[in-house]
Every structure is written in C-alpha cells, then in structure tokens.
Structure 1
Amino acid sequence: MSHKIAAVFLLMSCLIASAYSAAKVPVAVYYESLCPDSAKFITEQLYPAMKGELRDVVELTFVPFGKSHFSTQGSEVTFTCHHGPNECYGNKVHACAIEHIQANSYQIEFTRESLTLDFVNCLMKAGKNFPDNVYPGQRCAAENNVNNWENIKTCANSTEGSQLLRKAGEATQRLKEPLTSVPTILFNEQFEKKVNERAQVNFIGTICQYVSAPQPRICTAHNGASTSFGLASVSAILSSLMGLWALRYLF
C-alpha cells in the first residue's frame, strides 16, 4: 500500500505545481515606431505593467509595421510608411532589435525579453523629438544595457532590415481582421475591437481577464477581490483528497 500512498503524494505535488505554472497569455502588439498612439500605449500602459508581476504570465510579441505598405521587385523591398520615411527606418530598427537583442550571461538580471522591452519603450518614449535629428537608437541601447547596437544599426541599414520588416508586414497582413487602427493588440491570437480599445486605456485590467488562477497579486488588487482559486483552496482540496485515498487503503 505504501507505493500507492506515494503515488498519491506525487499526484498532489503535480497538481500544486500546475496551479502555480499557469500558461502564459500570448499578447501581440501591432504598432508603428513614430505613431503617437502606439507610443502612448507602450510607454503608459504596456511597459509599466510588464515591468511588474505580469512579465511572468504574458508572452509578448512586438510587430512593428502598422499601416505601412511594401512592394517587391526582385530582391528589393520598398516601403511606404504611415508617418513617412523616418518611420520606415524606425520600424527597421525595431524589427532588427527584436531579432538581434540577446541576454548577456554576465548580467543575469536581464533577459532577452526584458532588454527588448526596455529598448522598445525607450525608442517609443523619444517619439519624434530627435535632438539634432539623431535617431535615439544608440542612446537607448546604452541606457538599457543593450550591448550590440552596432549589429542592430547594421541590420537596419541593410537588406536584412528590409527582410525583417517585410516579415512584420506579412504578419500584419495575415490578421484575420484587417488592421484598421494603430496600435492593435491581440490576446490569445484573437482580435476583438472592444478588448483592443479597453487594453489601450486599461491594459492591466484587460490582461487579468485572460490570466489563469492563481492570478498575480496585481490582478487581485486591481479587481478589488481575491482569486477564487488560490493556493489555500488548492491545498484544502488536495488535503481532503489525500485523506480519502489514505483511508481507503488503510482500512
């Protein structure tokens, strides 16, 4: 009987672990590098939320293209961007950064995701105000521990940058609902107009509706209520089950 009781304990442990390892919610942000609304959402809603507990429950994807267009002639790709040629360059910088930013093994406090988020936020915060007409890529890289700005810049000024931006354009074109506004935010790869609008003014409240229990504390605080399936509930249920199984085999 002891091996059966051990199996029960193993099952209980797995259930507790699964309660704490809820799947991440896929969130995709379709945006433009010089779009004021994109900047407002990323710097005021997305970035503050993702720097907290939500970073552990969200799988974030940036798609820097928006209402831009591209055409191909042989190996050449030509872009027309919503806010002009400077935005095309900015979109390429974003696409190249998303592709090339890597975490440094000597700086374990940073992840690839956190470095990308910090860099994108810095670029978007700069907006269209570039002192001396200098794009803020190098400054944002230096300020946010991105050590390979030269690689990103080379990419943005080469055919690689064009190909990466083209991929972002193709991803945008594949949306089931054609993109009509920027930014556009998808949750679980699904677009809903009302959800998109709400996320732009209340990202935390919106994402918390998709996060499985047990939810981060920021969600319970934001909703003004405790989760209905926290650890205490899990422990109580598992303790009861364990007791029933033990009694079954002891008597």
Structure 2
Amino acid sequence: MKIALTLLVVFFWAWCPSDAKHVPCPFPEELWCSSREIATACQASCRNIPEKKSNAVQISLYYESLCPGCREFFVSQLYPTWLTLGDVINMTLVPYGNAEERNTSSGKWEFTCQHGESECLGNMIETCIMYYLKDASAYANVIYCMESSVDVLKSAPLCLQIYSKDVTWDKVQSCVNGDLGNQLMHQNALMTDALSPQHEYVPWILVNGKHTDDLQKQAQSALFNLVCKLYTGEKPDPCQAV
C-alpha cells in the first residue's frame, strides 16, 4: 500500500502547474478523509479527521527553493511521506540554506543566494506563503506545486490560487517586497545559523531535532520507512507493510 500511495502522488502531482486547474486527486475517494493532509490536497470536505498525534515525528528541512537536490527530496520523499503519514509528522520548512545576509545602511537585510537572485526571490515567496497560511496542511500543497514544476517562480501565483482561498498573490507580493518578508528571511537566516552541528550542505534534514549522517542518509533514501520506525505510538495503517 505504501509503494502504491507514493507512486500515485509522484505520478499524478508532478505535472501540477502545467494543467493545475484540472489536477486529479492522487488518492481513491475512500482515502480522502483518512488524514487532514490528504483531505486538503484533494479539497475534500470531511468530518472526524484524525488529529495530529502528540508524539509525532519532527521533520525539519533546511533547503533552497532552486536547489535540485532539495527539490528532489521534497517532491519524492518528504511530501509523499507527509501526505500519507501527516497525522504522525510535524514538518518544518526553512528556505535559506547556503544563502548569506548583510545588514545594509538602510537597516534592511540584503541576501545573496547560492543559485542567484531568482533563488532569493523563491525563498522569499515560499517564506511569505508559509507565514500567511500558517499550518503545513495549508501551505505544503502550494510549496509542492511550486517545487515540482518546471519553473518554481512562474508557477507560484497559480499554485497559490489553486490551494488558497484566503491569501491572494498581491498579499504575498506585498510581503516579498516589504519589511515583513525581509524580517522573515532574516529569521530563516538566524534559524539556519543556529543549527548544531552547523549545516554543511543542502538539503539539511533534522529528525526529532537531531542531524546525523545516518539520519540524513535514511531520510533521503526512505523517509517513509524512517518515520514508521521512529513513531512510538500505534502504527498507522500505511506503516503495517514496513
């Protein structure tokens, strides 16, 4: 079941931005209300959705919006795992990575990114989207829609339009171009600089607040299995085959 669900996500959702208004739900109808994440992705109205478990596994991703390895991990590992095991995962996304910041004479922060100005803009857009949408169940689909597209930046307005009824693209642009976005990116810089051990590359993955070479390797190769193994409560149904 786990393999089938993951393949469904990757196959159906990979072309999201190119024909986004007609994206089918990648899950059969009987699964639409099995988690808040799937219900949101399929835009289904559900009752009695399972609540997030108190002992959920913490997955934190420090990444860059245009980094190929970061995009691959999010699209092929983190998002499908979160979508199928969302009630036992708490996900944190911090777009900054190997960027650098400088405090200018105007008091604003100036950012330099590994993949150029476009990546700085992508980081800022995703940060503002996450700020306004607040919860991962609301913003993860938008970020996935962007990161799985051919052009991350061009897809952003349409991805937001599809998955957010309350936050407009104009609002996100105001954040990106104003003091709010500047300060939010500075917070991402502080969070990244505070990592212990300090990050050496991206994607940089923390599992339950810890980073080791072994955890990074397991997360990048089989995050679903890792989450199932680490979750200490009653195993969710998709984990039974692991």
Q: Give the TM-score normalised by structure 1.
A: 0.71
Is 1:142 aligned with 2:161?
Answer: yes
Q: 1:192-211 residue pairs with structure 2 within 5 A?
A: 192-211=212-231
Q: Aligned with 1:176: secondary structure?
A: coil
- The amino acid across from 1:181 in the alignment is Y
Residue of structure 1 equivalent to 2:182 = 162
Q: Aligned with 2:233: secondary structure?
A: coil
Residue of structure 1 equivalent to 2:207 = 187
Residue of structure 2 equivalent to 1:109 = none
In the alignment, is the contact (CA less than 8 A) between 2:53 and 2:87 conserved in 1? no
Is 1:89 aligned with 2:121?
Answer: yes
Residue of structure 1 equivalent to 2:74 = 42
In the alignment, is the contact (CA less than 8 A) between 1:119 and 1:146 conserved in 2? no
RMSD: 1.8
- The amino acid across from 2:195 in the alignment is L
Residue of structure 1 equivalent to 2:100 = 69
Q: Aligned with 1:155: secondary structure?
A: helix
Give the share of equivalent positions with the same residue, in percent: 28
For residue 89 of structure 2, the aligned residue among 41, 49, 58 is 58
Residue of structure 2 equivalent to 1:117 = 140
Q: Aligned with 1:208: secondary structure?
A: helix
Rg: which structure is higher? 1
In the alignment, is the contact (CA less than 8 A) between 2:101 and 2:109 conserved in 1? yes
Is 1:215 aligned with 2:215?
Answer: no
Query: Could you tell me how far 1:160 is from its partner in structure 2?
Result: 1.2
In the alignment, is the contact (CA less than 8 A) between 2:55 and 2:233 conserved in 1? no
- Greater relative CO (CA pairs within 8 A, separation 6+): 1
Over 3 Å counting, the alpha-carbon distance change for 1:197 and 1:21 in structure 2 is: closer
Query: Could you tell me how far 1:44 is from its partner in structure 2?
Result: 1.0
Aligned length: 189
In the alignment, is the contact (CA less than 8 A) between 2:101 and 2:112 conserved in 1? yes
| 5+ long unaligned stretches in structure 1 | 1-19, 103-111, 224-251
| 5+ long unaligned stretches in structure 2 | 1-51
- The 1-side partners of 2:185 and 2:217 are apart by 26
Residue of structure 2 equivalent to 1:105 = none
- The amino acid across from 1:72 in the alignment is N
Q: Aligned with 1:59: secondary structure?
A: strand
- The amino acid across from 2:146 in the alignment is L
Q: Give the TM-score normalised by structure 2.
A: 0.73
Runs of 4+ in 1 over 4 A off after TM superposition: none
